[in-house]
Structure formats: C-alpha cells, structure tokens
Amino acid sequence: MRSRSIILAPGARWRAMNVPGEDAYRNKGVAYCPHCDGPLFKGKRVAVIGGGNSGVEAAIDLAGLASEVTLLEFADVLRADSVLQDKLFSLPNVRVIMNAQTTEVEGDGSRVTALAYRDRPTGTPHKIELEGIFVQIGLVPNTEWLGDSVVLSDRGEIVVDTHNATSVPGIFAAGDATTTPFKQIIVATGEGAKAGLSAFDYLIRLPSAAPLAAAAE
C-alpha cells in the first residue's frame, strides 16, 4: 500500500506476570491501570507488583483509596526515583516487600482472594489475602513491526513532537505507542485529533504532483 501520509496508532500492551491465575482473574481483581481501576478498590486491600516509577506511583495513588497497599518488588532495591520512594515510605497504609517473586493469583472462582509469592533468597512461600492486584511491570508499545522505519525511544515508543510528527515527513503517530505521557483514552483521542490535523496540514502543503510517501507494501 502507498500513501501520501500515514498516522500510526498501534497502541501498547501491559507486561503480564505470567503466573497461574492471572488470566483467569484479569478484570476480576487483576488490574493494570491504577488511574482507571483504582476507584473499584476503595477501602479494599491491594498489591502492586513492581517497584519502578510506575509501581511506586501506583502504590502512592492507591494508598489514597485502598485500606492497605502492599508493593512487591522482585529485586532487592526499588528502582523508582528517590523522591517517589520518600513519599511511598511516608504513607502509613503501605508496606514494601523486596525480593518477592509472585507465584500465583488465587481466587474463589469469581474474584481474587489472595496473592502467593516466594521470598527469593530463602525460597519461603507466602500468601497475602487481598482483593486487588495491580501489575506494574511495564507497558510495551506495539511497535516491533516498525523496525527502524521511524525513530523509536529506548522503550520502543514512537518519538513524536508536539504536532505528532515522527522522524519521517508525512508520517504521524498518536496514542499509547508514542512518547506522549499518560496512557489514557482522553489523551490518545486528543493526540489522534492532533495527528489528523497535522496530516491535513502536511498534505495541503504538498505540491499536487508530489510522489507518494514510502509505506510498507
């Protein structure tokens, strides 16, 4: 296919824990977006998986809603910015467990009831009774298929400017697959509108006999 302009919007996918019970209880207690699903866990016990910036931000956010937040980190240190860690450790209803390898999501058939994990240095199994699990171990943009056709960030996101232009003239991008922060519907749709207007702007400036932009055949 050939085109004078292209808008890329392939989205992104949440990295999963890949443990038994995760698929069965997805959207039945296993969640990936604290801004989206946090209010469903008001007054309940939740865990956050992952101690990077996303996980610590999620735990801080959820601490304002949930009764208890347990953050589990696989490594022996949190990778989040120290300012976020300071905030996290100041919260009375948050506890942090390092060296924790999640092993299973448990439930009663309709909802999550517990999270099992193993202490990595000793191998000792543990269980936390809870109602919600927020998995925060990465959001992977669906950009592998682009190869090096447009510039990607070190996280694989399509690098866009404030007009949603990519590194290639005529190719624009929007949504979760781009470097634009805050992966939310309202942001993605607004960016999509901007990308459309930018493509229009680009097209009306093309000479009428301009060749078609390169695109994947």
Ligand X SMILES: Cc1cc2nc3c(=O)[nH]c(=O)nc-3n(C[C@H](O)[C@H](O)[C@H](O)COP(=O)(O)OP(=O)(O)OC[C@H]3O[C@@H](n4cnc5c(N)ncnc54)[C@H](O)[C@@H]3O)c2cc1C
| 100 in contact with ligand X (CB under 6 A) | no
CA distance linking residue 202 with residue 84, whole number of Å = 41
| 194 in contact with ligand X (CB under 6 A) | no
| 32 in contact with ligand X (CB under 6 A) | yes
The sign of the torsion formed by the CA atoms of 75, 81, 86, 89 equals negative
Q: b/e per residue, 66-100, with b = 16+ CB within 10 A?
A: bebbbbbbeeeebebeeebbebbeeeeebebebbb
CA distance linking residue 102 with residue 17, whole number of Å = 8
Catalytic residue among 23, 36, 81, 201: 36
| 175 in contact with ligand X (CB under 6 A) | yes
**Among 54-62, 96-104, 155-163, 180-188, which window interacts with ligand X (CB under 6 A)?**
180-188
- Tell me if residue 55 falls in helix, strand or coil: helix
Beta carbon nearer to ligand X, 37 or 119: 37
Rama region for 147: left / alpha / beta (φ>0; ψ in -120 to 50; rest): left
| 181 in contact with ligand X (CB under 6 A) | no
Options 2, 3, 11, 39; binder of ligand X; rule CB under 6 A = 11
Which positions from 144 through 163 interact with ligand X, judged by CB under 6 A?
145
User: Could you confirm whether 36 is annotated as catalytic?
Assistant: yes
Binding footprint of ligand X on the chain (CB under 6 A): 9-11, 14, 32-33, 36, 142, 145, 175-177, 183-186, 188
Question: Which residues are catalytically annotated?
Answer: 33, 36-37
